[in-house]
Amino acid sequence: MSMYRSLNLVMLGPPGSGKGTQAKFLSERYRIPHVSTGDMLREEVRNRTTLGLKAKEIMDQGGLVSDEIVSAMILKRLDQEDCARGVILDGYPRTVEQAHVLDGILAELGRALERVILVDVPDEEIVRRLGGRRSCPKCGKVYHLIYSPPADGVHCDVCGIELVQRDDDKEEVIRQRLIQYHEKTQPLVELYEQRGLLVEIDGSQDMEAVTAAIVDAIGASADQ
Ligand code: ADP
Ligand code: ADP
Ligand code: ZN
């Protein structure tokens, strides 16, 4: 039995550092949902909702969608039944304002953050990772042309559909996203460090080594 009544984790780090990849591994290991605001926004874009159309314009320029919009999505999501045992938040919070909203939401639900995992990777490696990132338009599975290629190099292993590159994984947009990260998201590193929640992981290692370092930081007590 877990020591944690509910295990609430935040994945922090620059775009392309491997937050989503690690969040998926952790989600399976601890059997708690992977909640990604980027995935939720892309789903809105695919469904051509009003919110999605508005968000797409901002995302394609590498900007941040408004705090109100993403916080409303997170509030609704965390209140769902499957999140009762905890969540792995990926891509949220991304601003100090969002961090404060998250505090309020968790307090309301009678929960607290267990760890904030900073997956850090130098800027030049980020460009390599995002340049080679491809995903399945159907199931959303994420690949890398060199580091984690599909079996035939082109199609999703699960769906057999041709992989695509995200619209915002272009060089000019990547540069803008990095600027946004350093300006708006990096202040969260200090905020969570001061609270004693931050764990810094060297994200430039291979995927298995990164996972091992994170699991180690969360501690054996989180295992079922
Ligand atoms: P990355 O792979 O760069 O970490 P995500 O998939 O998390 O990207 O997010 C893609 C885009 O969605 C961001 O560049 C931003 O425009 C928007 N987005 C995602 N999460 C947030 C958030 N918490 N606040 C504002 N915008 C967000
Ligand atoms: P984020 O969610 O932080 O934007 P992703 O998890 O989507 O990042 O990873 C970005 C790209 O880098 C993907 O193509 C992924 O397959 C690849 N990747 C993730 N972690 C590693 C790693 N440790 N080593 C090499 N490539 C990685
Ligand atoms: Zn697929």
Tell whether ligand 1 has an atom less than 6 A from the beta carbon of residue 91. Answer: yes
Instruction: Collect residues with CB below 5 Å from ion ligand 3.
Output: 136, 138-139, 141, 156, 158-159
Q: Considering only CA atoms, which of 45, 41, 65 is closest in space to residue 53?
A: 45
Cβ–Cβ < 8 Å for 174, 63? no
Pairing of strands 142-144, 133-135: antiparallel
Q: What angle do helix axes 96-108 and 67-78 make, rounded to 10 degrees?
A: 20
Q: What is the pLDDT of residues 159-182, one digit of tens each?
A: 999 999 999 999 999 999 999 999
Q: Considering only CA atoms, which of 51, 23, 17 is closest in space to residue 35?
A: 23
> CA 93, CA 27: separation in Å to the nearest integer?
18
Q: Supply the pTM of this predicted model.
A: 0.95
Q: Under CATH, which number does the domain 7-122+181-222 receive?
A: 3.40.50.300
The domain ranges of the chain are 7-122+181-222
177 in active site: yes
31 in active site: no
Other beta carbons within 10 angstroms of residue 202's beta carbon come to 12
What end-to-end distance do the CA atoms of the chain give, in Å?
Answer: 5
Q: What is the pLDDT of residues 7-58, one digit of tens each?
A: 999 999 999 999 999 999 999 999 999 999 999 999 999 999 999 999 999 9
